[in-house]
Amino acid sequence: MCGIAGCLGYAERDRLEIVLTKMQQAIDHRGPDDRGIYISEDLQAGFAHTRLSILDLSPAGHQPMSINGDRYWITFNGEIYNFQELRADLIAKGIGFQSQTDTEAILQLYRTYGTDCVRHLRGMFAFAIWDDREKTAFLARDPLGIKPLYYWRSGQTLLFSSELRALLASSLPGKTLNPRGLYSYLVSGSVAEPDTLIQDIETLPAGGWLQWRAGEVKQQQYWQIEFNPQPISQTEAQERVRQALIDSIKYHFVSDVPVGVFLSGGIDSTSLVALARQTQLGELRTYSIAFEETQWNEGPIAQRIAETFATDHTEYMLTAPVARQLMDDFLDAIDRPSIDGFNTFCVSKIARECGSKVALSGLGGDELFGGYSSFQQVPKMVRWGQRLRWLQPLQIGQLLRRSTKNGKLQRLGDFLQHPPNSFNAYLSYRGIFTHSESLQILDRICPGYDPATLRGSFPIPDCPSLEDEVSFLEINRYMRNQLLGDSDVMSMAWGLEVRVPFLDRVLLNAIDTIPHDIRLAQGKQLLINAVPELPEWVVNKPKQGFLFPFDRWLDDPEWQSLFQLTKTPQLSLAPWYRRWSLVILEKWLQKIGCSPTASRSTFTS
């Protein structure tokens, strides 16, 4: 795991090294073990890298790395879990290697297969390859979007990096807010890709690649999840899930440094620990967060799980004062606003301090196996909305939105004013602020936007059921835009690599043919049946999620000072996450000096 950055086709070539150095410094935290810069002789391309050494800890793993007489250069962030098999296949073709790294395997694959190299890779990745003979650059991102890759284009120049802050540190992109990205954040708590909060900076789509040549850019999507149900018995489905998970976990433990597991006390993380015992001998490290507040505290059950599976367990007791002390570091670590992330920030801190450089997370289990209530509620909303169409739902929606201060009912009113499809139902169900409230905030922060361009649409491929559509949305919206983004930034703030075995392309290809009535059975029943090692007291406990007692902590005077807005908008700020989302946004805007808010209050009453 590392930090990558680069600059292609920069007109002011005498400043290229300065630009690269600024970007490299902005992502130093991602790679504390090594760093390097490459600039092509003709100054058409420059790469910067910061390294967190996981595989082949020797200097042979230094990046940017080159092969073939310095023709091909790469800067790479991520892990390729099947690199040993790929390496063996390439050696059998007569190709020699100079290191034991997965980085060199990618380079040799690109040399052999060109852009199709991405179809051979099993893992999480974002990388750029420069062909110094053809004068082309190839950028790619993993199928699920586990690793981020941001880019900015102006004329023939293209900048890219693992984090938004590195592009801004170059001083080349402007800092003008993107109204569509801001609307997305206000509605859902995160910015939907490919947008960002900054105008003209985008993310490379997950499962996509980009090719640059002399300022011209070509993009292509090489992978997208599809659900194609095939007849299968319950028993066969359970065995398929079990074997796919064991296989994925085995690959995700490939490392030359210690690997731990985030243990929240839920079904997903406990499944990882239980199945890891099928593939891992010896010490297994686990990490959890505990609270004084009983309502949120899953420390005791995590401790019991650790004892059951004989792990070397570390618990981090997080009190309100301790959490408040960490908040300044957390705010500094934020690369883009989100209503989540503090949980990963805290558990990553303790894992790194205990000597782990790699940790597994159960992220993805809810999205693949129907763990959220959205799998039941969104289809109900769609069917209800379709039945109400003849009752003039627009007027009903307006009445609901205007006659209540209940946030859920207001969002339901929003939904009834839009076509009753799964995307609109999902936006309303997952919402933070309503459409009209978001417009009020936008009016204050970046006036002059075109309302017609804000909400947009989200193309959903043909799915066999509404439940499959919800699974697609959870994977491609909430998980990718919020959970994966927070997981990457907050773990890398401590120099920790987080791996997600549930989000393995091979695993997804194994289970995407299981019909939704089996795969998404309520309560994640398929996953539970596939892992009979799960203790009954884990399976039967109420679903809680990895939640923090923020609403309780905000009563603490020290926390109240942190959560004061410059000026409070004329909106309801209950529940707590509404205020949180605006505070995080305001502090981020102040930190980067983003126009037009740098010289005046972000929110006005």
Half-sphere exposure of 152 (CA within 13 A, CB side): 27
CA–CA separation, 519 and 517 (whole Å):
6
> How do 358-360 and 497-499 pair as beta strands?
parallel
Locate 526 and state its tokens: 């398929």
Query: 274 and 267 in contact (C-beta within 8 Å)?
Result: no
Query: 569 and 586 in contact (C-beta within 8 Å)?
Result: no
Could you count the other beta carbons within 10 Å of the beta carbon of residue 402? 10
Q: Which 3 state secondary structure label does DSSP give 139?
A: strand
DSSP strands (E only) in 184-290: 201-203, 208-213, 216-221, 259-262, 285-290
Contacts of 602 (CB under 8 A, 6+ apart): 444, 445, 565, 566, 585, 586, 589, 590
CA–CA separation, 271 and 268 (whole Å):
5
Q: Which 3 state secondary structure label does DSSP give 434?
A: coil
Backbone angles phi, psi at 474, to 5 degrees: -60, -40
List residues bridging with 312 in a β-sheet.
285
| For the chain, counts of helices (H) and of strands (E) | 25, 17
Locate 434 and state its tokens: 């309503």
Backbone angles phi, psi at 21, to 5 degrees: -65, -40
**Core vs surface per residue 552-585: b (16+ CB within 10 A) or e:** bbeeeeebeeebebeeebebebeebbbbbbbbbb
Could you count the other beta carbons within 10 Å of the beta carbon of residue 205? 19
Backbone angles phi, psi at 566, to 5 degrees: -55, -50
| Marked catalytic residue, from 2, 117, 446, 463 | 2
For residue 22, the one-letter residue type is: K
Query: 592 and 555 in contact (C-beta within 8 Å)?
Result: no
List residues bridging with 131 in a β-sheet.
72, 136
For residue 401, the one-letter residue type is: R
**What Å distances lie between residue 320 and 112, 264, 348, 576, CA to CA?**
55, 19, 18, 16
Is 2 among the residues known to form the active site?
yes
596 upstream amide cis, omega within 30 of 0: yes
Could you count the other beta carbons within 10 Å of the beta carbon of residue 137? 23
> Following DSSP, what letter does each residue of 269-335 receive, concatenated?
HHHHHHHHHHH--S--EEEEEE-SSTTT--HHHHHHHHHHTT-EEEEEE--HHHHHHHHHHHHHH-S
Q: Which residues are catalytic?
A: 2
